[in-house]
């Protein structure tokens, strides 16, 4: 075996290497096969020849390894040079980036869309507005000049970082929000956050109370007392208020007695599961009578326990509301109370277990009604709900029923609202059978219950898919139906294909 020497060669592209080896490897002379594949002793001549060839092969290996080392050093240099060129290109492409040519007005519009998100969780270590100020001086200047992107603060135990000074970060954000109205959501968990930390954050929030516009806040009795002197909220239009073991009915007077612009009130309390065995419910609605109820347009009362008389006294003051939502447990009313008329109410959301109150309110122009029947009993729908639908059904155009039974008494309830244009029956608790679907389309006395329905939603377990398809096709062809959402039926893909074959593509089919 013989090896050639290096020849001077230069690469026409990169100039490396200056010396390139040209290696000509001659195959060594092998020992005859009969000695390679046996244990026979070869003659001395073959032994001497084999030793020479092995020594030459070892020399060739050493030479090749040395050459490979030289080539690896050359490759390492080329890699370093290539990386340097890549870095050069990356740096200079940043200089040529089109975003550098955008005016500050357009850049601020982009930043506004970056910051917007549905579930806002305030975290100075991860929120987009805090990241933008760290990119460059130009971006920092634009971000700080946009107070609107700093005006939303939502603090909860899950989102609040533990390794930073929340109060200092909050004060900085309030400073950057300038004079913009604030949206505040404060719900630090009572069990996992120390009272001192809660108070320090609340002090920062209350320092900007003059700019509160939309607020959802959950406080303790001690925190109510701590902020008794803060009594002016001139821009507050939407308030969500949660209490925790509050027993002082005058507490709210000391805090929220000046809310001249309040339009929406979401009042959330705590109930005692055993309150029925007590003398009276645990929370009194007289706590919120200090608010300017007469100017409210929306009122939500959640997780409370009170007598109908207490609610009616509040509704008597909030007589101009447009939207009312009740999620509570009503006590038994020992005394007869006069019904209250809500002349402007157009939307009502109530649970079946609270339907007692429906016997005490009059809503002459009600348009939207939402009923949750999660405590439905085999005895049927309550008489209070039937009576209420009898009075208001002719004016209803939008009806939502949640967890309702697919039974005849539900069809009788729908028959009391002949002018519906939107009907939604969500998560029905009994199978939707053939009789119910026929009753829905044919109605009582051969009258169609959904004659004017434009939008239909029906979710649950269907026991007869063919009847569902017949209902959809018949209504789509001969009726006014324009959109439908169906969930829970089997073979939804087949139904969709058959509808498309008929030229119908208005149904959103989804699994339950």
Q: pLDDT digit string (tens) for 114-148? A: 887 655 667 787 788 888 898 888 899 999 999 99
pLDDT of the residue at 444: 45
pLDDT of the residue at 248: 47
Confidence band for 155, pLDDT divided at 50, 70 and 90: confident
Highest mean pLDDT among 81-95, 284-298, 440-454: 81-95
Q: Is the peptide bond before 202 cis (omega within 30 degrees of 0)?
A: no
Q: Please say whether the beta carbons of 419 and 388 come within 8 A.
A: no
Phi then psi for residue 422, to 5 deg, are -135, 125
Burial 346-383 (b: 16+ CB within 10 A, else e): bbbbbbbbbbebbbbbebeebbbbbbbbeebeeebbbe
| Domain boundaries of the chain, sorted by first residue | 6-95
Evaluate if residue 8 carries a pLDDT over 60.
no
Evaluate if residue 267 carries a pLDDT over 90.
no
Compare 230 and 92 and report the one with higher pLDDT: 92
Confidence band for 6, pLDDT divided at 50, 70 and 90: very low
Average the pLDDT over each of 23-27, 130-134, 211-215 and give the range with the smallest value: 23-27
pTM tops 0.85 = no
Confidence band for 442, pLDDT divided at 50, 70 and 90: low
Long-range CB contact pairs, 351-354, < 8 A, 24+: 351/326, 351/327, 351/375, 352/376, 352/381, 352/382, 352/385, 353/329, 354/326, 354/327, 354/328, 354/329, 354/330
- Residue percentage of the chain with pLDDT more than 90: 14
Helices of type H across 195-306: 195-206, 221-226, 251-255
Compare 366 and 259 and report the one with higher pLDDT: 366
pLDDT of the residue at 512: 44
Evaluate if residue 409 carries a pLDDT over 90.
no
Burial 266-290 (b: 16+ CB within 10 A, else e): bbbbebeeebeeeeebbbbbebbbb
Compare 27 and 487 and report the one with higher pLDDT: 487
pLDDT of the residue at 348: 93
Compare 176 and 46 and report the one with higher pLDDT: 176
Confidence band for 256, pLDDT divided at 50, 70 and 90: low
Name the pairing type of β-strands 264-268 and 323-330.
Answer: unpaired
Phi then psi for residue 92, to 5 deg, are -80, -25
How confident is the model over 345-396, as pLDDT tens digits?
999 998 877 777 888 888 999 999 998 886 555 556 778 888 888 888 888 9
pLDDT of the residue at 158: 56
pLDDT of the residue at 272: 42
Residue pointed to by tokens 């005006």: 151
Q: 491 in helix, strand or coil?
A: coil
Helix axes 137-144 and 104-115, enclosed angle (nearest 10): 70
Mean local confidence (pLDDT), 451-480:
72
Confidence band for 275, pLDDT divided at 50, 70 and 90: very low
Evaluate if residue 403 carries a pLDDT over 80.
yes
Evaluate if residue 281 carries a pLDDT over 70.
no
Compare 172 and 287 and report the one with higher pLDDT: 172
Confidence band for 207, pLDDT divided at 50, 70 and 90: confident
pLDDT of the residue at 47: 86
Evaluate if residue 233 carries a pLDDT over 60.
yes
Evaluate if residue 271 carries a pLDDT over 90.
no
How confident is the model over 40-59, as pLDDT tens digits?
888 888 888 888 888 888 88
pLDDT of the residue at 504: 61
pLDDT of the residue at 166: 78
């Amino acid at each position: 075996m013989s090896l050639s020497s290096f020849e001077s060669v230069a690469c026409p592209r990169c100039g490396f290497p200056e010396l390139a080896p040209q290696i000509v490897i001659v195959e060594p002379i092998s020992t005859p096969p009969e000695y390679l594949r046996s244990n026979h002793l070869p003659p001395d001549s073959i032994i001497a020849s084999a030793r020479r060839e092995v020594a030459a092969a070892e020399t060739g290996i050493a030479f090749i390894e040395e050459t490979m080392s030289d080539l690896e050093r050359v490759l390492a240099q080329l890699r370093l040079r290539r990386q340097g060129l890549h870095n050069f290109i990356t740096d200079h492409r940043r200089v040529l980036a089109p975003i550098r040519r955008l005016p500050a007005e357009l850049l601020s519009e982009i930043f506004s869309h970056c910051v917007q998100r549905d579930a806002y969780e305030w975290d100075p270590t991860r929120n987009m507005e805090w990241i933008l100020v760290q990119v460059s001086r130009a971006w920092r200047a634009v971000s700080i000049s946009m107070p609107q992107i700093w005006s939303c603060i939502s603090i909860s135990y899950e989102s609040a970082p533990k390794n930073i000074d929340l109060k200092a970060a909050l004060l900085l954000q309030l400073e950057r929000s300038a004079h913009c109205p604030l949206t505040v959501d404060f719900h630090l968990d009572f069990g996992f956050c120390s009272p001192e930390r809660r108070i320090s954050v609340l002090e920062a929030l209350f320092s900007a109370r003059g700019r509160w516009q939309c607020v959802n806040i959950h406080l303790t009795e001690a925190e109510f007392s701590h902020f008794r002197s803060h009594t002016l909220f001139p821009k507050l239009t939407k308030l969500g208020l949660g209490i925790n073991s509050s027993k002082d009915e005058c507490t709210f007077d000391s805090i929220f007695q000046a809310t001249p612009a309040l339009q929406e009130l979401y009042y959330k309390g705590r109930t005692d599961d055993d309150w029925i065995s007590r003398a009276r419910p645990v929370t009194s609605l007289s706590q919120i009578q200090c608010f300017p109820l007469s100017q409210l347009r929306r009122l939500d009362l959640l997780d409370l326990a009170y007598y109908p008389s207490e609610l009616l006294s509040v509704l008597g003051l909030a007589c101009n509301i447009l939207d009312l939502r009740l999620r509570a447990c009503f006590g038994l009313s020992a005394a007869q109370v006069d019904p209250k008329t809500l002349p402007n109410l157009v939307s009502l959301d109530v649970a079946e277990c609270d339907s007692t109150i429906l016997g005490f309110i009059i809503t002459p122009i009600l348009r939207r009604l939402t009923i949750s029947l999660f405590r439905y009993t085999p005895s049927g729908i309550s008489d209070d709900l039937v009576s209420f639908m009898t009075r208001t059904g002719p004016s209803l155009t939008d009806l939502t029923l949640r967890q309702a039974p697919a039974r005849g008494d539900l069809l009788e309830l729908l028959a009391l609202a002949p002018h519906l244009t939107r009907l939604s029956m969500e998560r029905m608790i009994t199978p939707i059978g053939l009789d119910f679907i026929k009753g829905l389309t044919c109605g009582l006395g051969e009258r169609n219950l959904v004659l004017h329905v434009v939008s239909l939603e029906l979710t649950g377990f269907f026991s007869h898919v063919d009847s569902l398809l017949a209902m959809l096709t018949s209504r789509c062809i001969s009726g006014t139906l324009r959109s439908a959402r169906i969930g829970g039926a089997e073979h939804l893909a087949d139904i969709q294909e058959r509808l498309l074959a008929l030229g119908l593509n208005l149904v959103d089919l989804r699994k339950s």
